[in-house]
């Protein structure tokens, strides 16, 4: 007997709801933008504190575009993965063993995800060529970087402005020797006070109570 194709295998996925797709893409773009801001802010911090580089807007904007491209490629990779999962799900039989063990009934959901990943990737590629969008990420990244390490940068700048007197370096050994004497005297004073307290607390000492 020749079996016909199942309803899931023969049917074309229903059209994706444009409104739901737009909402999903918009939410994903917000997440992608936040990720780009964090990535670029970290880059600013590393280049400023570790490498001592001066902030360069054009170079940072280029880094934003590279980051957006990488995020778009990640979305396309996810699209390819979900397409494979969907093809496998259409051939699957039996009950699902876990939430990622897809079955034909998941076809509509997986088809929606495929479209969403492609939509996000295409939008990220378009935004990469939008100077206003890129500049907005640069500004947000600079603000985040300054909020994270602004005080450290100020401290570093001030430290570089300190002028050390040559006489200060010449007298360093003498100052350290004097510090050693001061510490020794402090330790001796502590020892004397411990002896005084122990003597006053022993029976027969000055501080004993009358019987």
The residue with tokens 């390490």 is 149
| Model confidence, pTM | 0.63
Using 50 as the pLDDT threshold, list the residues of the chain that sit under it.
1-10, 157-158, 160-164, 168, 175, 205, 207-211
> Does one domain contain both 89 and 157?
yes
Is 211 inside any structural domain? no
pLDDT of residue 162: 44
Q: What share of the chain is helix, strand, coil (3-state, %, to 5)?
A: 75, 0, 25
Q: Report in angstroms the alpha-carbon separations of 192 from 85, 90, 188, 201, 204.
A: 80, 87, 6, 14, 19
From 36, 42, 52, select the one nearest 135 (Cα to Cα): 36
> Does one domain contain both 33 and 59?
yes
> Does one domain contain both 182 and 127?
no
> Does one domain contain both 133 and 195?
no
> Does one domain contain both 107 and 76?
yes
Rg (CA), the chain: 35
A 10 A CB-CB count for 103 gives 17
pLDDT of residue 198: 56
Q: What is the C-alpha separation between 133 and 50, in angstroms, rounded?
A: 28
> Does one domain contain both 196 and 100?
no
> Does one domain contain both 147 and 171?
no
Print the domain residue range for 36: 14-161
Q: End-to-end alpha-carbon separation of the chain, Å?
A: 115
> Does one domain contain both 128 and 40?
yes
Q: What is the C-alpha separation between 166 and 160, in angstroms, rounded?
A: 16
Is 7 inside any structural domain? no
pLDDT of residue 121: 97
pLDDT of residue 8: 46
> Does one domain contain both 190 and 157?
no
Q: What is the C-alpha separation between 202 and 188, in angstroms, rounded?
A: 21
Is 210 inside any structural domain? no
Which tokens belong to 103? 């079955």
> Does one domain contain both 43 and 127?
yes
Q: What is the C-alpha separation between 21 and 15, in angstroms, rounded?
A: 11
> Does one domain contain both 75 and 178?
no
Is 6 inside any structural domain? no
> Does one domain contain both 155 and 180?
no
From 52, 33, 30, select the one nearest 134 (Cα to Cα): 33
Give residue-wise pLDDT tens across range 76-96. Answer: 999 999 888 888 766 766 665
Percent of the residues in the chain that have a pLDDT greater than 90, as a whole number: 39
Is 5 inside any structural domain? no
pLDDT of residue 173: 57
Is 8 inside any structural domain? no
> Dihedral through CA 74, CA 77, CA 82, CA 84, nearest 10?
-170
User: What's the number of domains the chain is made of?
Assistant: 2
pLDDT of residue 83: 87
Helix (H), strand (E) at residue 188: helix 172-201
Is 49 inside any structural domain? yes
Is 116 inside any structural domain? yes
């Amino acid at each position: 007997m020749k079996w016909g194709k199942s309803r899931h295998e023969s049917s074309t996925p229903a059209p994706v709801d444009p409104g739901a797709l737009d909402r999903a893409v918009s939410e994903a773009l917000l997440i992608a933008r936040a990720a780009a801001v964090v990535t670029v802010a970290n880059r600013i911090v590393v280049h400023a504190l570790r490498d001592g580089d001066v902030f360069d807007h054009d170079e940072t904007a280029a880094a934003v575009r590279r980051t957006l491209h990488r995020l778009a490629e990640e979305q396309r990779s996810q699209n390819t993965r979900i397409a494979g999962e969907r093809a496998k799900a259409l051939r699957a039989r039996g009950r699902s063993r876990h939430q990622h063990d897809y079955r034909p009934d998941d076809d509509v959901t997986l088809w929606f995800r495929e479209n969403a990943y492609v939509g996000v990737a295409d939008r990220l590629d378009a935004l990469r060529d939008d100077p206003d969008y890129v500049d907005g990420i640069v500004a947000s990244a600079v603000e985040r970087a300054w909020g994270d390490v602004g005080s450290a940068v100020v401290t570093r700048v001030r430290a570089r402005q300190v002028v050390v007197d040559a006489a200060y370096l010449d007298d360093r050994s003498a100052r350290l020797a004097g510090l050693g004497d001061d510490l020794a005297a402090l330790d001796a004073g502590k020892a004397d006070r411990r002896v005084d307290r122990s003597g006053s607390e022993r029976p027969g000492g000055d501080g004993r109570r009358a019987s």
